[in-house]
Amino acid sequence: MASLTSSKPRNFGAYSHYATPCTRTHQIGALFLVVSTFFVTRLFDQWFSESNSLTPATIDLRRTSSNSVIATDNGILRWPERGYGSHLSLKIYVYDENEIDGLKELLYGRDGSVKTTACLKGQWGSQVKIHKLLLESKFRTIKKDEADLFFVPAYVKCVRMLGGLNDKEINQTYVKVLSQMPYFRRSGGRDHIFVFPSGAGAHLFRSWSTFINRSIILTPEADRTDKKDTTAFNTWKDIIIPGNVDDAMTKNGQPDVQPLPVSKRKYLANYLGRAQGKAGRLKLIELSKQYPDKLECPDLKFSGTEKFGRTTYFEHLRNAKFCLAPRGESSWTLRLYESFFVECVPVLLSDHAELPFQNVIDYAQVSIKWPSTRIGTELLDYLASISDKDIEGMISRGRKIRCLFVYGPDSAPCSAVKGILWELQRKVRHFQQSTETFWLHNGSFVNRELVQFSGWKPPMPLP
């Protein structure tokens, strides 16, 4: 056997006889090949990157297929059975304003001067409408011991705006109210529902994170991290609700302002609102000065000649094919919902906005969401490239789902409240517990002092 350390030269066959020595010419050729390959690769990468950039010329305008915008049975709204059940079956107890000391203050202010009719107006009217509609609902129960959920009525956004309570009073009153609710303590608030109808969300109650961080919050706003350290919205327990569109536009029959045919509209797009010093809104106002024939975007004010009345506002809103909805003080925007009732295609320019009823509405079939960082001529060029046929298709699909943005009774085939009830049904727990709730072998619930639940007396320490 040959030794591995043998000094005898190896024979590689024919290749060893014809090996060509490496000359300077070979070295120069190899260097040229490496350099040329590098530059060709860079040019290809640059071309590929540019061809994939988001420009109107390269956006694929072909509509993607979708089974349905919303599932219905003969026109009756149908929620997906998975996770929701086959039918609505829940019971909600609505606290009466007279049974808890402090509730009246949260509804009407410290001296009772805030009128419900005043709170019904504007984008915060949902706090009143949800309360009133639940009082009339067939899913309401007057027996606490059979309730799946408990609704705590309060109009604090309106009360605060009208001077009925200040922030400190709101906080103190909420704490007083909660300390008188044995069922709230039993569950740690998990089965209690609160409505906060504005961009501030649950932050209207300054101590929300201490006392109602486990409760179900109904709000149109999901993100306030621009002004707060944390958001009060939790995807897994809270529910996004639609903003409150003016009743004159959502009522049965003919709305006060009728939509215009797409071909008759004066503008490609519009934004009708105050600038509020917000970057996206300011960009739109400047863009409208460059393209006044395409984009209507007046800098509206709270009062004076630069303020639109209700009818004037909707008459302007309907006169564009696309209604732009940039963020303002917070990420949610009422214009998104208003757009469906004047039948212009909403263009959401608010990156952090959350939308209601996402398990039944395919928003890509009825609206557009565009990056707020790309507001400019590129946006107008893109919108101009969309055919009237596609626009009319989106408007037609929008007509089918806008009933979910109307605060009507749950007896209607489709309404915001019915949608909220379906979402609430997913939150129902058949067993309740908290850090201050204990149970014994016989099924009885007791507190830390071993007092049975029926004997819990207010005021109680809150969990």
Residue-wise pLDDT for 92-127, tens only, equals 999 999 999 999 999 999 999 999 999 998 878 999
- Residue-wise pLDDT tens digits, 385-419: 999 999 999 999 999 999 999 999 999 989 999 99
The strand pairing partners of 215, in sequence order, are none
Measured distance CA(59)–CA(147) in Å, rounded: 52
Q: For residue 16, name the pLDDT band (cuts at 50, 70, 90).
A: very low
pLDDT of residue 157: 92
Look at residue 145 and tell me whether its pLDDT is greater than 70.
Answer: yes
Q: Which of 326, 353, 309, 327 is nearest to 269 (CA)?
A: 326
Tell me the pTM.
0.82
Measured distance CA(151)–CA(95) in Å, rounded: 6
Pick the most confident of 14-28, 223-237, 316-330, 374-388. Answer: 374-388
Instruction: Catalogue the long-range contacts made by 218-223 (C-beta closer than 8 Å, 24 or more residues apart).
Output: 218/130, 218/193, 218/194, 218/420, 219/195, 220/126, 220/332, 220/356, 221/196, 221/330, 221/331, 221/332, 222/331, 222/332, 222/352, 222/353, 222/354, 223/330, 223/331, 223/352, 223/353, 223/354
pLDDT of residue 95: 98
pLDDT of residue 80: 78
Look at residue 9 and tell me whether its pLDDT is greater than 70.
Answer: no
Q: If you average pLDDT over residues 18-23, what whole number do you get?
A: 56
- Percent of the chain residues past pLDDT 90, beyond the cut: 59
pLDDT of residue 53: 43
Look at residue 382 and tell me whether its pLDDT is greater than 90.
Answer: yes
Q: Rg of the Cα trace of the chain?
A: 31
Query: Between 441 and 231, where is the model more confident?
Result: 441
In angstroms, how far is the first alpha carbon of the chain from the final one? 86
Written as six digits, the tokens of 417 are 């409240």
- Percent of the chain residues past pLDDT 70, beyond the cut: 79
Q: Strand ranges (DSSP E) for 111-215?
A: 140-141, 149-151, 192-195
Mean pLDDT is lowest, of 129-143, 178-192, 291-305, 421-435, for 291-305
pLDDT of residue 13: 43
Element (H, E) at 72: strand 72-73
Look at residue 140 and tell me whether its pLDDT is greater than 90.
Answer: yes
pLDDT of residue 340: 96
